[in-house]
Chains A and B, each alone.
Chain A
């Protein structure tokens, strides 16, 4: 594959055929990982979980996002991030290295505008953790275009709603030390879910009920018809089994979806990643701390708990169920009947499995 990439790199330098995702092997997913030698890579995976390419990263990654048409992936550093790399997935070359402006840090996630012209990145003001959305010009070498307020403290995941340029941002509410991720405001944190217009104005913003102010909204999944599912991380008393799944639609209030009593502790107060299945009828919520994945209906009814050590990355499988990646290096297919291992790739898959829009 290195040879092919080498040849393509040469090709690219001379002639300039318009390359698409097909030229990168049509990956179904992107995922950051640690390799057997201890280094870090961004992988493209096919629908069966096999790695199609692995491109080295300078440090531990977290999430990634894919350009809607060009075979370009943006790999984000683990928080607090000092880099995001725009990687050409055919040639393996780094096309742009994004560095946050002075006093800003990347927070691990980003997404493209509908036409692919703008890359949005979740960022914080390093000293205060005030949230920012960074705007980068994807049409002109990813130059910094400007920034918006994210509408809260410590934004983490952000997504663009399907079919329009409205962003939904998980403002986690947690102020952290700029150097070591120490949490500074657990007693007073106030997470929110914020929707931003194409101009960066707040279109809608919801908070959780007062008793859940320590439930950090961190990751997002988009369902059919504007449904937003959000995954929570509980910063309150670990003996308190709070809901870790929330559902929202713009213009309504947020709804939390508890698991039954006997299942509520299995997640250990921590949801690491979230996804809808391909039908939009199921939501999967992973907990690497609990070593489980919980499945809910699209309306928030609990269905099942499945065990898999250090499971974290999750995305819709192309047929039924979910693809789940774990810290032990396995890619699995999760269905009603439980986990079926698909393949073992990297030494350790990182937090997120990012589907490419098809």
Chain B
């Protein structure tokens, strides 16, 4: 067993108490195993792995802050984030954590601006972990770390200090999210509809919350991860691709599809049309061979990215037609109305 795996497993023991309570409160009596399956097999292991990967990254940074030494751990942490990045509920939404963990898209360049200011001032905030937690969400997390590790102009003693601060701050947030789920939010989802649970008043609300994550996650990958670099036919914007500096734009698309499929099948395993649509989209992503989606600037490359985008939209349509009705939920009555 590797060190990372050992770390990833540790939180499960801490979880046992929470699960026993959840069982006592009636989880076992629920008619379907849908939400518990997603919480147990998708969400909790995902956050545990993300926490472990960022812990590893922070420890490595403390040992050696050079980009060459840190890039593998950076990629592992980013991979682990994409496995849970579509989950925008609970602890990750508190204190702006999701934004700070990966501040993208950033149409006004706030990330680069914040980083430039920190470096220009050699801001001592980088040596104070508590104060660093209050730095703008644009100047923390994976996107800032990406710049520090992949922009050759950013070297020297302060860049090293900042790299360590950002990595430690990232590990702190990942641990808080992991603990937040284990220490309460998982129970809220698992005990939906039970007396005293004012967050999820019915099992349908918990189901709808997770179904919404699936649909908005698919939208984000199609509209933002692919849509931003696609821009318009007259004005493609390859420079807007996510994680372009570290060469992982397409990788994030592929990993997000895998993560969303994991959520879909835990939520509702018997979903053949959705699973087939995922398989098609994932095959297109694999075949694309355009790591930073630079092809959007050429007619042929653009067409391939558009075909992938349409395939992801088809996954969404399949999930809405197949999984939503079987779970007895749809997107919000008012959220979808838009007026």
Residue ranges of A at the interface with B (Cβ–Cβ < 8 Å): 34, 62, 78-79, 108, 156, 218, 233, 237, 239-240, 261-263, 265-266, 270, 272, 288-289, 291, 307, 309-312, 326-328, 330, 338-341, 344, 348-351
The distance from the CB of B259 to the nearest CB of chain A, in whole angstroms, is 20
- Cα distance A348–B331 in the bound complex, in angstroms: 12
In the bound assembly, the distance between CA atoms of A272 and B334 in angstroms comes to: 8
Interface locus among B58-66, B202-210, B272-280, B281-289? B202-210
Contacts of A307 in B (CB 8 A): 89, 93, 199
Contact (A328, B208) CB under 8 Å given A239-B107, A288-B332, A344-B201: yes
CA distance in complex: A351, B333 (Å):
9
Task: Assess A108 versus B208: contact at CB under 8 Å? Given A262-B137, A288-B332, A340-B198.
Answer: no
Q: In whole angstroms, what is the CA distance A311 to B332 when docked?
A: 9
What distance in Å separates the Cβ of A263 from its nearest Cβ neighbour in chain B?
7
Question: What is the minimal beta-carbon distance from A56 to any residue of chain B, in angstroms?
Answer: 18
B binding-site residues for A, Cβ under 8 Å: 89, 93, 95-96, 99-100, 105-108, 136-138, 198-199, 201-202, 204-205, 208-209, 212, 224, 332-335, 337-339
Given A266-B93, A309-B208, A341-B198: A288 in contact with B107 (beta carbons within 8 A): no
- B201 and A79 contacting across the interface, CB-CB below 8 Å: no
Q: Using Cβ atoms and an 8 Å threshold, which residues of chain B touch A330?
A: 201
B205 CB contact (under 8 Å) in A34, A240, A262, A328: A328
Q: How far is the CA of A79 from the CA of B337 in the complex (A)?
A: 10
Known: A240-B107, A272-B334, A328-B205. 8 other contacts (CB 8 A): A261-B137, A262-B137, A309-B208, A310-B332, A328-B202, A330-B201, A344-B201, A351-B337
Asked whether B333 lies within 8 Å of A34 as measured between CB atoms, the reply is: yes
Interchain CA distance A262-B92 in the complex, whole Å: 11
Query: In terms of DSSP, what is the predominant structure of the interface of chain B?
Result: loop
Complex: chain B residue closest to A240, CB-CB: B107
Q: Which residues of A contact B337 (CB under 8 A)?
A: 78, 288, 350-351
Give complex CA distance A244, B50 in Å.
33
15 residue pairs A–B, Cβ–Cβ below 8 Å: A218-B339, A240-B108, A265-B99, A270-B338, A288-B334, A289-B335, A291-B209, A309-B209, A309-B212, A327-B332, A328-B201, A330-B201, A348-B333, A349-B334, A350-B334
Known interface pairs A261-B137, A263-B96, A328-B201; A350-B107 also in contact (CB < 8 Å): no
CB of B334 within 8 A of CB of A312, answer yes
* In the complex, chain B residues whose CB is within 8 Å of the CB of A79: 339
Q: Which of A108, A218, A233, A310 contacts B334 (CB 8 A)?
A: A310
Of B96, B106, B224, the residue contacting A261 (CB under 8 A) is B96
* Assembled-state Cα–Cα distance A272/B209 (Å): 19
CB contact under 8 A between A310 and B198, given known A261-B137, A262-B95, A262-B99: no
